[in-house]
Structure 1
């Protein structure tokens, strides 16, 4: 690459990071201003009034958005990788200019009631079509699965959702249409959604990094303050130590860009070692650096206190956008290799305030 081009790319990546850190990448799929206080201490269920899903993109709206962006963006390609139990197409957004470049996969909504990460991923996709971010794609390939569990997201399932608390267009559930938790199916791979991910993404593309984006309950805290989210690398003893270290570097980029904002407050997630979970199983099976990010609060749930109202949407979406943009930029310019992982040694594991444990990851 010519020296002038290198300089131009570095300047573009610096601009990309600045936009990510300030939240200027939030391009209005669902936008809202960020509060001055940490996300975790922001509006809770009682302060939000009614829990509703009416402001969240439906599956059809998401597909329409993706097709529109595909038509507008020369670098983007939209692929159907399989179908859900109920026959909905599962989409993969691709930015691949050179298979030899490092590739990161962003996976959202394995659990259908965890949608703000999907909203953030759509904003990220929209930004990748602008001139300000075009140069980042010279250094990294990007894959996005924006809604793996579309049936759960639409409440189109073969079991009752009458106990779910959201009021609006639809209820949303953690499980797929058959009542199966997809993030416990990464060894047996029985469900069509999990098969689509493994057969037509993990087995087809050379992926180097993956961030699996989820939501947890509302009561997790670190150092006495409610968290905006929590992160964790593979914890199975079967994971290659070199893969774990690269995963920790991925987490370092996220922590440095989110926790430093003043409104973000991250903890270390308390996760298990089972390889049925994507964070662990995918790292072992494919030798991929993986990171779990659990955002605070769910879009719907059958228990009070697990869901957050729509006033929390904007800044949790912003947190997702910051996560995706900062990691893409760090991989693109190679700075991820210098990420300091020592913070993991002192990062406190989150604890839960009284009133029950959330069903997370």
Structure 2
């Protein structure tokens, strides 16, 4: 059954702190359990690629320690952006990657909030201890529905059809070996092959809301699971997951589960760990911004805290790497973390 995205009668703006950005009339609004109404995320709107580019350029002008780079173009010619905070090449470096899948929009909204925060006193000092790279949307064509295949199986709302695939109908998170698509080629050639990256978090959505022991599961995490990963890389990946788990689990938004992922190295979580020695973590929030399965499509009430999960993930990991506390994290929780039972979408 097809289902339209839920919209509300609000002006076309996205709220990033106190800065308003004009955006198309597609809205994802709401606060989840224990979500703080005075925090930075109150109303989220799926930001168009043009709006995102404008916002990033404005932030580069405002932030002395931010540099914006175009690393390539999508199939349809949209710029692929890299946001950089590099003050000392000797510092450890983390990469945050969002929206490999075009219908997984909330983590991109979280990344934009995090970028804005990096220009404030709250986060600015982090640049002294960690280099931060952010690719805030790898699949702009899928996010715009500007594709070379039929969208009949996707939910339509106005001019937007958010799809998992890129314009050629390829899942970018299955292209990390062949790297045939311009988006994955740009990522590998101009980010992964160019910068000395120690950690990477790949932020996604998962198919459906689910429960563990009768309690809400708000997302899931997973380290590399290929047998070819180096032992030290795996250990640091698990420590990266421990930082995220310890930051999110006490919030009351719902529990994190262990994602039931496979070992294929075509997937970034596995392939990047093997090819580049990067400690990687998959982070998935529940629900989809747009999907042909009705039960997958996000409602209004949960989106505020789901975005906040993405922001918290970025904040907590950047801080832990900057101050070195990540190196002391206990990874034993992975041994008892329950596997989440839901349709896999990584």
Give, in angstroms, the shift of residue 290 of structure 1. Answer: 0.0
1:36 equivalent among 33, 53, 72: 33
Q: Secondary structure at the match of 1:254?
A: helix
Could you report, residue by residue, the CA deviation over 1:64-93 in whole angstroms, capped at 9, with x for unpaired residues? 110110110000000000110001110000
Q: Secondary structure at the match of 2:295?
A: coil
1:311 equivalent among 295, 301, 314: 301
Are 2:108 and 1:109 aligned?
no
The match for 1:330 is 320
Distance 2:16 2:232 in 1: 34
Could you report, residue by residue, the CA deviation over 1:261-305 in whole angstroms, capped at 9, with x for unpaired residues? 111310000000000000000000000100000110010011211
1:214 equivalent among 204, 207, 223: 204
Q: Secondary structure at the match of 1:244?
A: helix
Q: Which has the higher strand share?
A: 2
Distance 1:338 1:33 in 2: 36
Distance 2:215 2:252 in 1: 13
Alignment of 1:116-155 (within 5 A): 116-155=106-145
The match for 2:268 is 278
Q: Which has the higher helix share?
A: 1
The match for 2:71 is 81
**2:28–2:299 Cα contact (<8 Å) kept:** no
Alignment of 1:10-49 (within 5 A): 27=17, 34-36=31-33
Q: Secondary structure at the match of 1:94?
A: strand
Paired residues in the alignment total 317
Distance 1:223 1:122 in 2: 34
The match for 2:184 is 194
**2:70–2:80 Cα contact (<8 Å) kept:** yes
Give, in angstroms, the shift of residue 219 of structure 1. Answer: 3.5
Go from structure 1 to structure 2 and tell me whether the alpha carbon gap of 1:125 and 1:167 turns closer, same or farther (over 3 Å shift): same
Go from structure 1 to structure 2 and tell me whether the alpha carbon gap of 1:103 and 1:31 turns closer, same or farther (over 3 Å shift): farther
**2:288–2:297 Cα contact (<8 Å) kept:** yes
Q: Which ranges in structure 2 are unaligned for 5 or more consecutive residues?
A: 1-14, 21-26, 36-43
Distance 1:106 1:135 in 2: 18
Q: Secondary structure at the match of 1:228?
A: strand
2:48 equivalent among 58, 67, 72: 58
Distance 2:61 2:144 in 1: 25
Go from structure 1 to structure 2 and tell me whether the alpha carbon gap of 1:309 and 1:32 turns closer, same or farther (over 3 Å shift): closer
Q: Secondary structure at the match of 1:305?
A: helix
The match for 2:5 is none
Could you report, residue by residue, the CA deviation over 1:22-54 in whole angstroms, capped at 9, with x for unpaired residues? xxx97267896643369xxxxxxxxxxxxxxx9
Give, in angstroms, the shift of residue 225 of structure 1. Answer: 2.6
Q: Secondary structure at the match of 1:142?
A: strand
Go from structure 1 to structure 2 and tell me whether the alpha carbon gap of 1:249 and 1:67 turns closer, same or farther (over 3 Å shift): same
Distance 1:263 1:166 in 2: 29
Could you report, residue by residue, the CA deviation over 1:87-121 in whole angstroms, capped at 9, with x for unpaired residues? 11100000000110000000000000001000000
The match for 1:41 is none
Distance 1:147 1:341 in 2: 30
Higher relative contact order (CA 8 A, sep 6+): 1
Distance 2:285 2:71 in 1: 26
